Structures are given as C-alpha cells and as structure tokens.
Amino acid sequence: MTAQHTSTSVAPTNPSQNAQDFVRFAIECGVLKFGEFKTKAGRISPYFFNAGLFNDGAKLAQLAHFYAKAILQSQIEFDMIFGPAYKGIPLGAAVAIELSRFGKNVPFAYNRKEVKDHGEGGHLVGATLQGKVLIIDDVISAGTAVKESIQLIANAGAIPSAVAIALDRQEKAKENDVDLPHSAVQYVKKELNMNICAIATLTDLLSYLELTQDPDIKPFLDRVKTYRERYGVDAI
C-alpha cells in the first residue's frame, strides 16, 4: 500500500522562536562552540558549528523536529526528500519521519557515492526521484555538493526545488584565496535558482548572544559581531 500525502495538521511555532530554540539546543549539545577556530576558508572564526555532534537518537530526533518546523514555516513546495551522501542521509531520513508526525508524509531517497554493481545496482536508494525534490543537508559551504545533488535529481527527471540546512553562516564565499561578494547560500539561491530554508542564521546567533545571560558565552558577542562585519553578507 502506498502512503498517502497529507496536509500539515500541526501549526508550527513562529520562525524566530524556532531559530532561537535551535541555537540554544546546538549550544547545549556542544554542536555550536565558541573560541578560536580555523575555517575551511582559512579564516579564524569565533564560533564553530559541527552538525556531526548531533550523534545520538534523542539529539537527532530533536534536530529533525527543528528542521520540520522550519520547512513547514517556509511554505516551500515539495513532493519528496533527498538526502545527499553522506551527512544528508541520516538527516533526510530523520526529517522525513518528523514531517510525517506533522501530517506531511512524503517519499525519501538518497544516493551512494559509489555505484553498486550487484543486487539492485545503481547509486540511488529509496523512493523514485520525481516531482519537486527538497534536498536536506547540514550547511552549504561552497555549493559544490548542492550542484551535484541538483544534477543527479535533474538527470532522474525530477525537479530540484529547494535546500533545507541547519545553519546559514551568512559569510562570504572564498575562491582562489579571494573573498567573494556573496555567500555560498546566496550563490545557490540566485545562480542555481533554488529556494533555501535554514533553521537559523548568523543573525539568529547574534540575537541569541545579545539576549543570553550565560557568562561563558556572552563575552563572544563582540567577537562574532566583528567577524560578521569583516566577512558577513546580507540575509537571503
């Protein structure tokens, strides 16, 4: 029996509250840390986000809850979910489960990085890619992984329509050691014509730091502001 797609039956909370709750959760889980970190772009950042540390059942379930709320709040139209290998696989599966709890049951698929040459073969697993496809990932660092997913989805005859991520760093992309005027997220939105849904942004992180009374992280407010002034971009 094929599962029926149903409309959302639970009204999510407002986007800003969901973002603030997510930032708090990420800090509590040690996923979002403050200090001095060297990024892939070679910059020294006062904060670091590592979604791989949502590494047990309870954390992953709560993370999926935040994704599902953000996705439904965004009103992005989609018919199914795609989780790109490797981080996107557990994320996409967990989000599909959580969306079904909100009353929106959609098919889910993911890819293998290596093509399987036995059994069912191929590099796609799960539901057939069709209709409007929502890609689930943790962050967009350079846009390369998203481009690969878009091509794979399009080659299957489906429509890559949107990307949902956990955090938009709102930070200038870098290419050949040169800071670009746009972020990787902006590139994906404008150049690849994709809708973007982020649970939280750097703006949300700054709002959280401004309001918190936590003495361990409050001192990083000025450092994050300074970092944004140097490398930040406008919201999408």
Residues annotated as part of the active site: 116, 118
CA distance 172 to 19: 21
- Burial readout 155-188 (b: 16 or more C-beta within 10 A, e: otherwise): ebebebbbbbbbbbbbbbbbeeeeeeebbbbbbb
